[in-house]
Structure 1
Amino acid sequence: MSSKQTGPIASFVRFVVCGGGTGIASSAALVQLSGTMSMAVANAIVTVLSTLLANELHSRITFGNGRASLQVHLQSSGTAAVCYLFTTAAMLVLDAVAANPGALTEQAVYLSASGLAGVGRFVVLRIFVFARPKAAEPAETAAPALVAAKNPVAAPVFARTEVAVAA
């Protein structure tokens, strides 16, 4: 992957492919593990491992930042936890407002909430978690030094001290 960040549409497509692929693999792993242990334990194991895998894929493929650091894993996992809470809340609201929702209604609510949560997660990951620091423009960093060198009186106190010592 190139070191420069690509546009949001291409990143979003990679986000969906990586997340979707991880989801499909997780589903298969859950089925396999649930035959040998309780569903709750199997789900916990699959959730942790698939989140770590998705974080790594998003870092390397979706956003092209290379290997994910511990901080990135923690932040990205936090966004996944918020998505879980959002989808759970949507399902709880559905249960509170509909006495007996059908399977189609439940799936529509869950998938809608998952989609909204996924878009929100993508935005947070792109802007905050995987954002690359912008390089400082040379004119911005050099300008105060040039002003201080040409006019020591206009320079900040620390710059005047350095100019006076240098002179």
Structure 2
Amino acid sequence: MSSPSLPSPSKPGPLSSFARFVVCGGGVGLLSSAAVPLLATTMPWALANALITVASTLLCTELHALFTFGTGRRPGLRQHLQSSGSAVAAYLATTSAMLVLHAVQPSPTLLREQAVYLTASGLAGIGRFLVLRLFVFAERKKQATPANVAPARPLGTLSVNALTTGPHVPAYSPMTPSLV
């Protein structure tokens, strides 16, 4: 007799996940857009963007696992590594956009820099959402085995049920002679 299982928390649908993604990722993105120019006063812009990208990716991966995609647990190393792959693509998009801006306009205003950075970040964010939802935090389905098929055991072993129901009869395997 098995005990009743507790209901699992419901996973948010695509629109709810996207809204949560915008709140979490967008909020951290806005903070990042303020932090990058401040940090860039002490180092090259691309390096400042890289440092902020690493910190914001770690924070966002935690938020997305717990809140955006409702996994019910903190992300593991696999999710952090996969998330960092999509963050590298976002970093390349924002850095490329800023390099193009500075090539076209050598001294852009802070307002223009912010507009370009946030636009590139928003577009990269849409791609990042899809990667995270479809691959990083997608629910993995375990391959189910039929209930009436017992796992294979080596010949000569006894099952717990064999003590009460009789000897174990091994299932047919191409490696064992047929019982017919």
| TM category, shorter | 0.5 to 0.7
Structure 2 spans left out of the alignment, 5+ residues? 1-7, 150-171
Summarize the alignment of residues 4-43 of structure 1 with structure 2, pairs less than 5 Å apart: 4-23=10-29
Q: Tell me how far apart the structure 1 counterparts of residues 50 and 98 of structure 2 sit (CA, whole Å).
A: 20
Q: Tell me how far apart the structure 2 counterparts of residues 85 and 133 of structure 1 sit (CA, whole Å).
A: 29
Residue 45 of structure 1, CA deviation: 6.1
Q: Tell me which residue corresponds to 1:150.
A: none
Whichever residue aligns with residue 80 of structure 2, its letter is H
Distance change >3 Å, CA 16–CA 68, structure 1 → 2:
same
Q: Tell me which residue corresponds to 1:61.
A: 67
Q: Tell me how far apart the structure 1 counterparts of residues 135 and 99 of structure 2 sit (CA, whole Å).
A: 29
Distance change >3 Å, CA 129–CA 70, structure 1 → 2:
same
Residue 102 of structure 1, CA deviation: 4.3
* CA deviations over 1:27-86 (Å, ceiling 9, x no partner): 78x59x97xxx5679877655443222111111111111110011111112211210111
Structure possessing the higher radius of gyration over alpha carbons:
2
* Cα contact 2:49–2:95 (8 A) shared by 1: no
Distance change >3 Å, CA 82–CA 43, structure 1 → 2:
closer
Over the aligned positions, Cα root-mean-square deviation in angstroms equals: 3.7
Q: Tell me which residue corresponds to 1:130.
A: 137
TM (norm. structure 2) is 0.61
Q: Tell me which residue corresponds to 2:163.
A: none
Q: Does 1:115 align with 2:129?
A: no
The alignment covers a number of residue pairs equal to: 144
Q: Tell me which residue corresponds to 1:154.
A: none
Range with greater deviation from structure 2 (39-48 or 100-109): 39-48
TM (norm. structure 1) is 0.65
Structure number with the higher helix fraction is 1
Match of 1:56, SS state, is: helix
Q: Tell me how far apart the structure 2 counterparts of residues 89 and 19 of structure 1 sit (CA, whole Å).
A: 20
